[in-house]
Chains A and B, each alone.
Chain A
């Protein structure tokens, strides 16, 4: 087995990994190795040809490939070594990373620090347990997106989208533009899974019906999908007798994302069952010193912009770890309180600046986001599970937080 050594290895060259690599380089780390299994950097951004990227980070409305390009060009002009078509297959108990590719076979990498940036995967039909036959014509929305936008294949003509995640809605528009008929988008929950702008510009613009409180309960077809049965869902989440059928040849599933953490489990890192990612502190360091994680591998974010921000923090912290200046001794736990599904990161160690992200359990109007010690107090007219709450903590707030045992974040209705 070929053996190499480096200062920082970054696994995954999407918006998180690229940002981490660049920031580590800026912080003065000499040897940085960025690894990706695809033939080019950019990750999933390359197939996200729609606009809406970069609004948060660059105040510009970019497409996925344009957003990726800003990072790719910087990486090309840096000393970062990029190893493509290379899969990270193992992390050993002593933090060695085993890579595999077609030209070198296996490579054992000894690295002073590891940044995990594997992103996430889509939930599939199997994971949402929809009964019926198993014909062809069933895809996740992201797979269909790759077929249409990169490979140049149309997955089908008569389409039903299951789940109202952003990529499902974006693909409903994309398939319509390419000549398919999208008959419906179904959503089990009473509210949409994706952003309002996608409901307006991907569904309403093309008269595609969104059926909230509805789910596909049966798939028909032997060789190819021929149709689906859709049922109204009651307030217990169960299908009712109120049903209808739609003839279609294609189903696209957009039913959630799961952080990709096979490698993290090998470290081993304890996985938070709520987020599907490992527990992390505010430098994006995991409980194994020297192992960092960022972006959708840590927890699923709404925007690529957030992922890049996290990548920068993880990259800088990994650099500090390598040169011995990372101090994460004092830890205050961040705890999800009332109406909060998760808060990330899980521990506060920094004294300068921290951004906390929280996802709520349900849509609520006229609420206050608050914390232990009254340190956080933000009024919101509306909160939705599809849009994370961002909380900025400056040095003054962090000083107060350091006196607490834990920081509980709650969302409560006003009055």
Chain B
């Protein structure tokens, strides 16, 4: 039991090669081997994707008094992949009021993730 090995596969997006990288880990979740990458970037990518995958989240919020119904927004930095849906719930709660400037903070420090939801255009 103690030497049971888990495998997870990732497609590397660091370059057009798109290597299929396999991350092997032991029972406690520690990485034991990274296979299939052709460069160091691929290994780092797969390790990061395995242990703490991060994404930029882009979406829209409702806006009042503007030319259009929705205001596009983004996270000012990366957030953990598994917090995307929680963040969407927060985004759905708010309503912006025109005029809004690009870069305006609509939610400060969303879910305590140390990034803000900011407007990506003037509206």
Question: Residues on A close to B: CB < 8 A?
Answer: 39-40, 46, 49-51, 61, 63-66, 68-69, 148-152, 177-178, 196-197, 199-201, 204-205, 381-382, 384, 387
Contact, CB under 8 Å: A152 / B55: no
Q: Count B-side interface residues using an 8 Å CB cutoff.
A: 28
Q: Kindly identify, within residues 59 to 100 of chain B, every residue whose CB is under 8 Å from any CB belonging to chain A.
A: 59-60, 62, 67-70, 72-74, 81, 84-85, 88
Residues of the B chain whose Cβ atoms lie less than 8 Å from the Cβ of A200: 10-11, 13
- Cβ contact of B58, chosen from A51, A150, A152, cutoff 8 A: A51
Residues of the A chain whose Cβ atoms lie less than 8 Å from the Cβ of B18: 196, 382
Contact, CB under 8 Å: B88 / A177: yes
Can you pick out 15 interface pairs between chain A and chain B where the beta carbons lie within 8 Å of each other? A39-B67, A46-B121, A49-B58, A63-B72, A63-B120, A66-B120, A149-B60, A149-B70, A177-B59, A178-B88, A196-B13, A200-B13, A205-B84, A381-B38, A382-B18
Determine the distance from Cα of A204 to Cα of B60 in the docked complex, in whole angstroms.
22
Determine the distance from Cα of A187 to Cα of B67 in the docked complex, in whole angstroms.
37
Determine the distance from Cα of A65 to Cα of B29 in the docked complex, in whole angstroms.
40
Contact, CB under 8 Å: B122 / A151: no
A67 closest partner in B (C-beta): B120
Contact, CB under 8 Å: A201 / B13: yes
Determine the distance from Cα of A25 to Cα of B17 in the docked complex, in whole angstroms.
40
Q: Is B35 close to A, CB under 8 A?
A: no
B74 closest partner in A (C-beta): A63
Question: Residues on B close to A: CB < 8 A?
Answer: 10-11, 13, 16-18, 38, 55-56, 58-60, 62, 67-70, 72-74, 81, 84-85, 88, 102, 120-122
Determine the distance from Cα of A151 to Cα of B81 in the docked complex, in whole angstroms.
27
Determine the distance from Cα of A381 to Cα of B18 in the docked complex, in whole angstroms.
11
Determine the distance from Cα of A196 to Cα of B74 in the docked complex, in whole angstroms.
22
Contact, CB under 8 Å: B16 / A196: yes
Contact, CB under 8 Å: A151 / B72: no
Residues of the A chain whose Cβ atoms lie less than 8 Å from the Cβ of B74: 49, 51, 63, 66
Contact, CB under 8 Å: A69 / B102: yes
- Cβ contact of B60, chosen from A49, A69, A382, cutoff 8 A: A49
Determine the distance from Cα of A150 to Cα of B81 in the docked complex, in whole angstroms.
25
Residues of the A chain whose Cβ atoms lie less than 8 Å from the Cβ of B62: 152
Contact, CB under 8 Å: B120 / A65: yes
Tell me which of B13, B38, B72 has the highest count of chain A C-beta atoms within 10 A of its own C-beta: B72
Question: Given A65-B120, A205-B81, is A149 in contact with B72 using a C-beta cutoff of 8 Å?
Answer: yes
Determine the distance from Cα of A259 to Cα of B81 in the docked complex, in whole angstroms.
36
Determine the distance from Cα of A196 to Cα of B96 in the docked complex, in whole angstroms.
34
Residues of the B chain whose Cβ atoms lie less than 8 Å from the Cβ of A384: 16
Residues of the B chain whose Cβ atoms lie less than 8 Å from the Cβ of A69: 102, 120-122
Residues of the B chain whose Cβ atoms lie less than 8 Å from the Cβ of A63: 58, 72, 74, 120
Nearest Cβ on chain A to B2's Cβ, whole angstroms: 31
Nearest Cβ on chain A to B92's Cβ, whole angstroms: 9
Residues of the A chain whose Cβ atoms lie less than 8 Å from the Cβ of B17: 381-382
Contact, CB under 8 Å: A177 / B120: no
Determine the distance from Cα of A354 to Cα of B74 in the docked complex, in whole angstroms.
36
- Cβ contact of A50, chosen from B58, B69, B88, cutoff 8 A: B58
Question: Given A152-B62, A177-B88, A200-B13, is A61 in contact with B70 using a C-beta cutoff of 8 Å?
Answer: no
B119 closest partner in A (C-beta): A65
- With A69-B122, A199-B11 known, 14 other A-B pairs at CB within 8 A are A49-B60, A63-B74, A66-B121, A149-B60, A152-B60, A152-B62, A152-B68, A152-B69, A177-B84, A178-B59, A197-B13, A201-B13, A384-B16, A387-B16
Determine the distance from Cα of A358 to Cα of B120 in the docked complex, in whole angstroms.
33
Contact, CB under 8 Å: B70 / A152: yes
Determine the distance from Cα of A68 to Cα of B72 in the docked complex, in whole angstroms.
13
Tell me which of B60, B84, B88 has the highest count of chain A C-beta atoms within 10 A of its own C-beta: B60
